[in-house]
Amino acid sequence: MRVKIEESWNYVLNPFFNQTIFKSLTDNIKKEYRNHIIYPKGNEIFNAFNLCPFDNLKVVIIGQDPYHGEGQANGLSFSVNKNIKIPPSLNNIFIELKNNYPNYRYSNGDLSRWAKQGVLLLNSILTVRKSQPGSHGKIGWERFTDYVIKTISSQKKNIVFILWGSFAKSKADIIDKREHLILESSHPSPFSAHKGFFNKNHFIKANEYLNHNNIKIIEW
């Protein structure tokens, strides 16, 4: 089936889009949007892909599901739009960035500038009901995003996968460690950040790996 997604992604993901499981997923999602308040907006579900074409991909940062508060989710994991208060997890990400780069400055939580440089900000679950975190965990999104991760792993080389928290780290088993760099830590949430998220230097390590493989680094 035809999906409104960036062309290079459409090409590599088309085998999944043509499976009955994806039709079932889209039918369920359409029903959810008709009957509930769902985030992000329908035209932003594939934002992570549309801003970061498969051909430009350098880094994958895996989240769980979108923010469930009004106006927060924008289709990019951990990101919010410029006019939205920075959530606690993202604030801790910025703190770690300043640990990596003491002169780092930011004015908002919009991470689209990362996406446009080749960072896929991928939530494993792409939609959520308002005020109900994890509410779309059984709807079929993980079958799709696992396929995305496996496709990246098998068709690309020298990608940096950044896995924060036990949920993201569970995806390490479907990534070829011989071809890619995997960086793992605890989640940046206030509940776990002090258990091993800070001072891991993932942003520096990602750029060192890219530079070593003659790939343009990310301006975080």
**Per-residue model confidence (pLDDT) at position 13:** 98
Q: State how far the Cα of 161 lies from the Cα of 202, in Å rounded to an integer.
A: 10
Q: State how far the Cα of 185 lies from the Cα of 166, in Å rounded to an integer.
A: 8
Residue 98 DSSP SS3: helix
Tell me phi and psi for residue 183, to 5 degrees. Answer: -115, 125
Minimal CA–CA distance to 93: which of 81, 82, 106, 84? Answer: 106
- pLDDT tens digits in sequence order for the chain, 220 residues long: 678 999 999 999 999 999 999 999 999 999 999 999 999 999 999 999 999 999 999 999 999 999 999 999 999 999 999 999 999 999 999 999 999 999 999 999 999 999 999 999 999 999 999 999 999 999 999 999 999 999 999 999 999 999 999 999 999 999 999 999 999 999 999 999 999 999 999 999 999 999 999 999 999 9
State the catalytic residue, choosing from 27, 55, 65, 176. Answer: 65
**Per-residue model confidence (pLDDT) at position 143:** 96
Q: Which residues contact 166 (CB under 8 A, 6 or more apart)?
A: 187
Whether 65 is a known active-site residue: answer yes
In the chain, alpha helices (H):
7-17, 20-35, 47-51, 88-100, 112-115, 141-155, 166-169, 202-212
| Helix 7-17 vs helix 20-35: crossing angle, to nearest 10 | 110
**Per-residue model confidence (pLDDT) at position 4:** 92
